Every structure is written in C-alpha cells, then in structure tokens.
Chain A
Amino acid sequence: KQEVTQIPAALSVPEGENLVLNCSFTDSAIYNLQWFRQDPGKGLTSLLLIQSSQREQTSGRLNASLDKSSGRSTLYIAASQPGDSATYLCAVEADSWGKFQFGAGTQVVVTP
C-alpha cells in the first residue's frame, strides 16, 4: 500500500526566505503527483500537478520536482510572503481514476 510522508510537519520562516517542502512515497509506480494548499478550516486548492513522465512543474514562485526512482518530490516556494502561510499537502495517484493517497501535510508559517 502506498504511503506518503511529509517532513517536517511544521515550518516557520521569516518573510523573504525560500521554502523547501519535502514529500516521499513508498511505491514509485505512480500516475502523477499533486501539491495542494489548505488554509485553516477550508478545503484544498490544487497548486501544481506533475505527471509521472515529468521531472518538474513551475507556476510563478512555485516549483515542484519529482524523482520517481527515489520516491521523492520537493515543492519550492521562492521569496516567501505572509500570505503563503498555510498547510501544504502532497498527494500521489496510482492510476488515472482520480484516487489519491495524501501525506499529512506541512504547516507553514511565514513571519513578517
């Protein structure tokens, strides 16, 4: 059974620093990997999706990399801002039917 782990569970950085969030998964046979953001008490918002054939995806200040062979993905957020404070979740999909296995998330606080 696929297991998804996110370390650290929480992270606090001063504004302007780059954020590095890690995700590892036990089964490298994935269909894709998705990063989500969750604000307190709210649903999830998709940030980036990386297909299994891709190595990275970029959107604005966000960049996500994928190394299937080692079972790792990293989300980079450049020049962090207080508005980036949220919980970030990683999820892997084993096939094309939309079923995801989620990590527990990394709670990020960016201090002004």
Chain B
Amino acid sequence: DVKVTQSSRYLVKRTGEKVFLECVQDMDHENMFWYRQDPGLGLRLIYFSYDVKMKEKGDIPEGYSVSREKKERFSLILESASTNQTSMYLCASNGRGQETQYFGPGTRLLVL
C-alpha cells in the first residue's frame, strides 16, 4: 500500500514564526505536491516537484517555499507565518505516468 505521511496532524504557531511541514512517501514517486484546503474553496495547489531539487509554483505560492533534497521527502516552509495561513495542508504524490494521486492525512495549522 502506498503510504504518504505528514509530520504533524495539528500545529499551533504564532504570527511571524517559521513553520516547517514535512511530507514523506514510501513508493519512490517522482511527483509530490502541497495543497491547502479551505472551506468553500476546495484544494489549491501551493507548490509541486517533479524530481529531487526541482520545484514549481502552483496557484498560490506567495508566503511559502519548499524543499526537496531527497526523493521521498517534500517540505513546505512558511517563512513568517500569518493568520491567513491558518488552513488544512495536504501533501500528495504520484509516480510519473501514473495518474492516481495519493494523499497524506493532512496537517491542520492554526496561526495565532
């Protein structure tokens, strides 16, 4: 079974803090994605990566950065957290040429 894990289920941070969200997949997938999910807005793509050290901006990259130093790990970084970044963050992965996307359980982030 494909497994995508995320480092935390719940996080509470203060405005201005640097926040790291980690995602690990165990299926040797090339493609990895970070989404945020907000009520009424669905999932919106923040960043994605097609290979180690590669990254591409999604639809809403402002205020975020990413790191992919190893194939199995994709990190989302909030350089200076703000209250409007309070959201559910979902990581996903899929293999090149494999359409089905596999999701992690999500991290619910609250920024105070």
Whole-angstrom CA separation of A51 from B106 in the bound complex: 27
Closest CB-CB distance, A86 to chain B, in whole Å?
Answer: 14
Check if B31 is an interface residue, CB within 8 A of chain A: yes
Interface residue SS majority, chain B: strand
Q: Is B84 in the interface zone, CB < 8 Å from A? A: no
Q: What's the interface size class on A, roughly?
A: 20 to 34
Chain A nearest CB: distance from B42 CB in Å?
A: 4
Give B44 Cβ to nearest chain A Cβ, in Å: 8
Looking at B12-20, B63-71, B95-103, the stretch in contact with chain A turns out to be: B95-103
Tell whether B43 is near chain A: CB-to-CB under 8 Å.
yes
Docked pose: A103 CA to B43 CA in angstroms: 7
The interface of chain A, by Cβ under 8 A from chain B, is: 4, 9, 31-32, 34, 36, 41-46, 49, 51, 89, 91, 93, 96-100, 102-105
